[in-house]
């Protein structure tokens, strides 16, 4: 039997080439203009699962974009790993800031990726990290080292709220039955210090609309006498944070999980350079909630950010207008034990209540999800830890991430199993930004590490069940 | 000799038809895509001046769009009236809110315009009001009743700051020599109560840019830890007004002209219904600077309004991004004796000074102009007052307008003559808004009233100079 690392070395070029082909398809789920591309990507993923050795794979219809399902059964008595990932990607805009086409993948070396990185939208989030699992399966099947059963559930709506996923899971409880869920859609600290994400923030995403006069007005004739929806919107948004950058929505912090000084001290041990952080972003200073470090602000604390704002004349030149309407897209990152539905209601109630006379304000809830924490005494976590230790030669650090994968708490609720987040990306990979990329070292290291997770998880599972 | 009103009645259909042809040309000066249309409009205006009876008319090149000049000399010993107007128009957007094409003029009756109104961009501002002067000249020339000399100066950059006008005036002092400047680019109270604008607000228009991180960021990984340019921009704009809606830019009010209680009481006599005002705009309440009435807020007080704002993801769906940049277009309406250049500097200095750490802020001055006031004892004002009294049967009320015609103070400085603002539009004509229109009653009444201004002005001028 051939060992995984030599198999990866031998097939390296093919693995990179196959991923590049997948990245060429612009599967932007947020924009209907790309809907055919999204569908084509689902087909391509199904094909790759069959070629990797799944007994069966299919493109399953949903009310939205389809979910690709695949499975390889070794023995019903053995545990089953369910791999989740997504084949859709974020919109590429602002396109003008990309150094190469977002859907025209190129391999370039960078300071952090001396062995090269693949630049394309979705390279890291999540086509690249999802495809590591496909190639890991290929190795295990080809070499008869697959120690357990495996199922794949790859969706196409993760970047727009996974709206069809719950519908699918509720209707396929038996089919999706598993002992642990494995996801690579997060990052790690660095290529020399791997980490495993043990916590994710929840999300509440809303759109707000401020309506003033029934038509755009001449700012000379009406300026100063009528509430200007843009000025009003800026005042309302500004009021959502106090002078300490605490969020002012009443009740917002009521259920926020209190983290002990010990835990905070433990987290603070993770290597972090504020200097490098500032330089990487070219900012003179960080900014955030008083009383917390940058790492804490972006992991264990809830936040509120405007993701988009628009109103009035935004074309070339000048137009002296008071617009009839102004809009903003606002998202809140939530922590355990905030409930996203409750927070969304609190926000809607508060934001509509602070509307001044002279305007009408409407808050439209968009989507959201709960925060999540994995206990590190879980055998899934332990298996992942041992796998990283083998391939990186160092024990991974458990870490809370600021991002959100809202569907994880849905998995726990519906499928009754824990999720392990084996991420191989880096914070500097620019996911959701222009010039997203994924290190070739990380891509191949992921393919090497995953089979070891299967090995250790099955061992721990069996010894566990013998107790 | 035929009297003006019967001449107008006889030629009514032709007058409307000619204006409609002029309105068909989309002379949007703010958008380079329409540059050929702007040039074509200048030619059309020149032709109309020659047909109306000018001895001479020409399209004069400038560094920007050309200025149409025309003249009719009766006797060098007689006074000269210089008519100013503009043939360019505001952008039509938002186009989807127009009930008929902005450049496809239609005549419809409305509650306020039972005799019909012409709906098109520029119908009132300013093609329609400018063309009244062309048709008034036609009448006076045809009937040998032109009592003085007349010159026309019709520009094509009024909606974008009249940048070439100063250049042109400075080079044509002799050619533009006059005794009074006549402009119809303002409104009046109502068709039963005419008014003459004796004051205009000045303007300072700027664009601001807030730059945060060097790229768009994932709001999950960076949210709460990095200054979000949109959140920062909203806080900065919100801080520009205090709880009484006073503008907080230091020094902003230092030179604001103080209006006596008597003057304010005099202005308060102008008929105004807050009820009708609210209903016309479909707002539940007015909004503005504490201690002033709606009429005062929109005439004798300076203001600050955001005319446009944009940043982040503004497409369909959701994108959880912290954008690298956010922008706003901001304009300030100024009153006598605020200097627009000084106010622009005060704003720039203040706005850049309140930028928090973590972002860079840049203020780009756009354009502006000084406020203006016409004394009502001026013979030009008296002539206009008598003219309105003859055609409307009621003495017009002197009124301050909130709008700006920045070039008027330039005229006074360079050409040493006063400007009389004989406006015939109504506030409800929706200038700068979708469905702009101009009442046929107002259009024809203007054509009837203007020759009377010439008559009275010449009489008063002669009796004056005999003193």
pLDDT digits (tens, 9 = 90+) for B323-371: 999 999 999 999 988 999 999 999 999 999 999 999 999 999 998 888 9
Decide if A38 contacts A122 (C-beta within 8 A). Answer: no
What is residue A367's predicted lDDT score, i.e. its pLDDT?
A: 86
Extents of the domains making up chain B:
4-200+371-463, 202-256+302-368
Residue with tokens 């973590």: B358
The Cα B369–Cα A459 span in angstroms is 80
Q: Report chain A residues whose CB lies below 8 A from the CB of B309.
A: 230, 233-234, 309-312, 314, 326
What is residue B168's predicted lDDT score, i.e. its pLDDT?
A: 97
Task: For residues A310-333, give the mean pLDDT.
Answer: 93
Q: Which of A213, A164, A409 is nearest to A323 (CA)?
A: A213
Q: Which of B238, B311, B322, B312 is nearest to A303 (CA)?
A: B322
Instruction: Note whether A97 contacts B356, CB cutoff 8 Å.
Output: no
pLDDT in tens for each of the 467 residues of chain B? 689 999 999 999 999 999 999 999 999 999 999 999 999 999 999 999 999 999 999 999 999 999 999 999 999 999 999 999 999 999 998 899 999 999 999 999 999 999 999 999 999 999 999 999 999 999 999 999 999 999 999 999 999 889 899 999 999 999 999 999 999 999 998 999 999 999 889 999 999 999 999 999 988 889 999 999 999 999 999 999 999 999 999 999 999 988 889 888 888 888 889 999 999 999 999 999 999 999 999 989 999 999 999 999 998 888 889 999 999 999 999 998 899 999 999 999 999 999 999 999 999 999 888 898 888 889 999 999 999 999 999 999 988 888 888 788 889 989 999 999 999 999 889 998 999 999 999 999 999 999 999 999 999 999 876 55
What is the CATH architecture assignment of A202-256+302-368?
A: 2-Layer Sandwich (3.30)
Instruction: Note whether A315 contacts B97, CB cutoff 8 Å.
Output: no
What is residue A407's predicted lDDT score, i.e. its pLDDT?
A: 85
| Burial class of B272 by CB neighbour count within 10 A (0 to 12, 13 to 18, 19+) | middle
User: Residues B169, B171, B174, CA angle at the centre, nearest 5°?
Assistant: 80
Instruction: Note whether B313 contacts A308, CB cutoff 8 Å.
Output: yes
At residue A358, does pLDDT exceed 90?
yes
pTM of the model: 0.79
pLDDT digits (tens, 9 = 90+) for A205-260: 999 999 999 999 988 889 999 999 999 999 999 999 999 999 999 999 999 988 88
Cα distances from B398 to residues A49, A287, B298, in angstroms, run 81, 53, 15
pLDDT digits (tens, 9 = 90+) for A372-421: 888 888 999 999 999 999 999 999 998 888 888 878 888 998 999 999 99
| Burial class of B445 by CB neighbour count within 10 A (0 to 12, 13 to 18, 19+) | buried
Decide if A219 contacts B297 (C-beta within 8 A). Answer: no
- Chain mean pLDDT for chain B: 94
Decide if A177 contacts A415 (C-beta within 8 A). Answer: yes
User: Which chain B residue shows the shortest CA-CA distance from A406?
Assistant: B220
Task: For residues A314-343, give the mean pLDDT.
Answer: 93
At residue A87, does pLDDT exceed 80?
yes
Q: Report chain B residues whose CB lies below 8 A from the CB of A284.
A: 357-358
Decide if A159 contacts A307 (C-beta within 8 A). Answer: no
User: Residues A236, A241, A247, CA angle at the centre, nearest 5°?
Assistant: 115
Mutate to test the interface with B, among A188, A222, A276 (most CBs of B within 10 A): A222
Instruction: Note whether A226 contacts B161, CB cutoff 8 Å.
Output: no
β-bridge partners, A150: A72, A81
How crowded is residue A212: how many other Cβ atoms within 10 Å of its Cβ? 29
Q: Which of A83, A78, A201, A205 is nearest to A151 (CA)?
A: A83
What is residue B267's predicted lDDT score, i.e. its pLDDT?
A: 81
Out of A218, A227, A433, closest to residue B215 by CB:
A433
Q: Report chain A residues whose CB lies below 8 A from the CB of B298.
A: 221-225
What is the CATH architecture assignment of A4-200+371-463?
A: 3-Layer(aba) Sandwich (3.40)
> Which residues lie closer than 8 Å to B196 by C-beta, 6 or more apart?
B188, B381, B384, B385, B388, B396, B397, B398, B399, B420, B421, B422, B423
Out of A31, A216, A316, closest to residue B30 by CB:
A316
Look up residue A351 and give its DSSP letter: H
pLDDT digits (tens, 9 = 90+) for B168-207: 999 999 999 999 999 999 999 899 999 999 988 999 999 9
> Encoding tokens for residue A425?
């990306």
């Amino acid at each position: 039997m051939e060992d995984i690392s030599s198999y990866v070395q031998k097939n390296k070029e093919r693995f990179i080439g196959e991923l590049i082909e997948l990245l060429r398809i612009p599967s932007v789920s947020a924009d209907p203009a790309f809907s055919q591309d999204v569908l084509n990507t689902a087909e391509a993923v199904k094909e790759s699962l069959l070629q990797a050795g799944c007994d069966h794979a299919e493109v399953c219809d949903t009310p939205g974009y389809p979910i690709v399902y695949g499975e390889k059964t070794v023995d019903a008595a053995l545990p089953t790993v369910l791999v989740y990932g997504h084949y859709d990607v974020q919109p590429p805009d602002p396109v003008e800031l990309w150094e190469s086409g977002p859907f025209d993948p190129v391999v370039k070396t960078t300071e952090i990726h001396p062995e090269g990185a693949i630049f394309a939208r979705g390279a890291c989030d999540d086509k690249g990290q999802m495809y590591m699992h496909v190639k890991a399966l290929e190795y295990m099947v080809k070499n008869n080292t697959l120690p357990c059963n495996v199922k794949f559930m790859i969706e196409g709506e993760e970047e727009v709220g996974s709206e069809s996923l719950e519908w699918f899971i509720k209707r396929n409880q038996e089919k999706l039955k598993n002992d642990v869920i494995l996801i690579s859609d997060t990052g790690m600290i660095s290529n020399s210090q791997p980490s495993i994400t043990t916590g994710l923030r929840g999300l509440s995403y809303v759109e707000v609309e401020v309506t003033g006069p029934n038509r755009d007005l001449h700012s000379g004739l009406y300026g100063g006498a009528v509430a200007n929806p843009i000025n009003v919107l800026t005042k309302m948004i500004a009021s959502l944070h106090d002078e300490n950058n605490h969020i002012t929505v009443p009740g917002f912090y009521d259920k926020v999980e209190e983290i002990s000084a010990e835990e905070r001290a433990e987290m603070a041990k993770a290597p972090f350079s504020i200097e490098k952080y500032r330089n990487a972003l070219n900012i003179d200073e960080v900014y955030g909630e008083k009383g917390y470090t940058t790492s804490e602000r972006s992991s264990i604390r809830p936040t509120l950010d405007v993701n988009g704002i628009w109103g009035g004349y935004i074309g070339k030149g000048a137009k002296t207008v008071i617009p009839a309407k102004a809009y903003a897209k606002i998202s809140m990152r939530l922590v355990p034990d905030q409930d996203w539905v409750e927070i969304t209601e609190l926000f809607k109630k508060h934001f509509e209540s602070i509307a001044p006379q002279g305007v009408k304000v409407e808050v439209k809830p968009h989507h959201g999800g709960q925060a999540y924490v994995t206990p590190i005494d879980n055998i899934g976590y332990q298996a992942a830890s041992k796998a990283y230790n083998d391939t990186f030669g160092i024990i991974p650090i458990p870490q809370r991430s600021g991002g959100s994968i809202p569907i994880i708490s849905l998995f726990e609720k519906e499928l009754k199993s824990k999720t392990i987040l084996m991420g191989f990306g880096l914070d500097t990979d620019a996911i959701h930004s222009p010039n997203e990329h994924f290190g070739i070292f990380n891509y191949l290291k992921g393919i090497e590490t995953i089979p070891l997770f299967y090995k250790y998880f099955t061992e721990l599972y069996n010894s566990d069940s013998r107790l």
